[in-house]
Structure 1
Amino acid sequence: MTRGDNPAPAAVDPQELWLGIGAARSGRGRKPAFTRGAITAAAVTLADAEGLDAVTMRRVAAEVGAGVMSLYSYAPDKETLLELMVDHVSAELAPATTASPLTGDWRADLKSVARLQRAQMLRHRWLPAALSTRRSLGPNALAFLEHALAALRPTGLDGAAKLEVFSQLTGFVSSYVGHEITQAAAADHPDRTAAEIRYLTAVAADGHHPELAEVLAAPPRPLSPDAMFTRFLDRLVGGLDTD
């Protein structure tokens, strides 16, 4: 096993990672052959193409043409590399927020925030899994958080409540996109889907599941991912209590 390829979850010091506090510095020695940004971009490209499991220190080193050991001065372990990757793709959100300034209608603005997050996660389908464990907020993620908190200013919620709403929204989007990706994969196996439908239909007809039978008998709603996301998002944001 290569160091950093399959590490136990490590505690990443956000001050050291993002501000350089506590990091060793020296003006001596050979000029670095790579940059942290280039290594992070290579890791993101690899994850986009092959999934998060493909991102190992050895694979990333091969992508940039470096020795594995040389990468550890940029990212000491995979946990740190994931932090860098998440913040790297968060930079994509800045132009979108600039192009769609806040309107003052906090519900509409919050829905825009969620749509931006969904689009980002669909571009980088490894992102929901990467966000499933606690991550620190790098500069790009902080900029987007600032935008989301500004969207909530008209609510009059206190700071803690605003952070709770943002966390709830992000959790919903991440969960939905994960489900969306799973359903897209299931569409590649129509026989299995048909078998599941036959099974539920049989269960609903046994007389012991009247609620399920009623649900299955109801007219179907549009099942497109966009339509479902909009319905779920409307329910979530519409149900937020700011009193």
Structure 2
Amino acid sequence: MAAGGRSPRPEVIWARPERTGRGPRPAHTRAEIAGAAVRVADADGIEAVSMRRVAAEVGCGTMSLYNYVPRKEDLYELMVDAVSAEHDLTSLPTGDWRADMLTVARDTRALLRRHPWLTRLLSSAYGFTPHSLRYLERCMAALEGLDAPGGTKLELLAMINSSVLAFVSDELAVAERARAVPWSPEEEQAVRGAYLAGELGSGHYPHLAAAFAENPGPTDYDAAFERAVGRILDAFARGGPAGG
């Protein structure tokens, strides 16, 4: 191990034994450390997660924590894996792949809402942790009924997850702004709506004006979410976005 706890070459924490066969049993487990980090992030945001804070949460010294988790990036991966265990896909597969994928999307949305910091960490780098692999395997089983190659099914899952991530990120940003200002969301919506109406009525944006005229009401996030996911599923049911 190089100075500062960094390995001289890339390594995956899951390929590193949690404990060797010799010596005393470790005082802490990865699950315990991950749980502590998740609690910190849930309470105070991902910015509050530090090796020092997590070490204090589990009751060990900061340098001792590096014996379990060599890098902060590994700590993040443990966190992603820990909350991935919360996916509730026990009802899958039902035999209806489209309904199952809608269940997957709803479940992922709920998970991101419970752990808002997760939107900052999700990436392909952390996509193959033990619990993430179990989640993907269950999803692939649910997609047995879709007549498409395995690679296309993985693309479908990636597209659903990306869409849910973008959707929830916007929801969270709107909610965060609402908490940061002294007025109500309704007051801000009224002011912004009046400004937008004036701009659309100027004649400079005819295409936008026509689109908003067809749907002038405030966004129903739940309905918009269902439509967005449904359109992705419709595309793949027809053979995929590129027809393949």
The question of a shared fold, defined as TM-score above 0.5 by the shorter chain, is answered with yes
Contact 2:92–2:142 (CA<8 Å) still a contact in 1? no
Specify the alignment match of 1:38 in structure 2: 32
Is 1:97 aligned to 2:89, yes or no? yes
Specify the alignment match of 1:118 in structure 2: 109
- Aligned partners of 2:151, 2:115: CA distance in 1, in Å? 29
Specify the alignment match of 1:216 in structure 2: 212
Question: For structure 1, which segment, 118-127 or 230-239, has the greater mean C-alpha deviation from structure 2 after superposition?
Answer: 230-239
Query: Unaligned 5+ residue runs, structure 1?
Result: none
Is 1:227 aligned to 2:223, yes or no? yes
Offset, 1:194: 3.9
- Aligned partners of 1:117, 1:43: CA distance in 2, in Å? 20
Deviations 1:92-148 (A, max 9, x none): 11xx222x2322111111111111111111111111111046214121111110011
AA paired with 1:34? H
AA paired with 2:71? D
Specify the alignment match of 1:80 in structure 2: 74
- The DSSP-based 3-state class of the residue aligned with 2:212 is helix
Offset, 1:55: 0.6
Contact 1:12–1:79 (CA<8 Å) still a contact in 2? no
- The DSSP-based 3-state class of the residue aligned with 1:13 is coil
AA paired with 1:171? S
Q: 1:56 aligns with which of 50, 56, 69?
A: 50
- Aligned partners of 2:152, 2:9: CA distance in 1, in Å? 26
Specify the alignment match of 1:13 in structure 2: 11
Offset, 1:198: 2.9
Query: Unaligned 5+ residue runs, structure 2?
Result: none
Contact 1:186–1:193 (CA<8 Å) still a contact in 2? no
AA paired with 2:57? E
- Aligned partners of 2:19, 2:27: CA distance in 1, in Å? 18
Deviations 1:30-64 (A, max 9, x none): 54222221111000011111111111111111212
- The DSSP-based 3-state class of the residue aligned with 1:74 is coil
Across the two proteins, how many residue pairs are aligned to each other? 230
AA paired with 2:11? D
- Aligned partners of 1:233, 1:108: CA distance in 2, in Å? 11
* TM-score normalized with structure 2 length: 0.84
Q: 2:97 aligns with which of 87, 106, 109?
A: 106
Question: For structure 1, which segment, 194-203 or 161-170, has the greater mean C-alpha deviation from structure 2 after superposition?
Answer: 194-203
What root-mean-square deviation, in Å, do the aligned CA atoms of Structure 1 and Structure 2 show?
Answer: 2.5
Change (3 A) 1:75 1:147: same
AA paired with 2:119? P
- The DSSP-based 3-state class of the residue aligned with 2:70 is coil
Contact 1:40–1:88 (CA<8 Å) still a contact in 2? yes
Deviations 1:150-191 (A, max 9, x none): 121111211211111111111111111111111222334435
Change (3 A) 1:137 1:103: same
Is 1:179 aligned to 2:170, yes or no? yes
Specify the alignment match of 2:203 in structure 1: 207
Offset, 1:199: 2.7
Change (3 A) 1:73 1:48: same
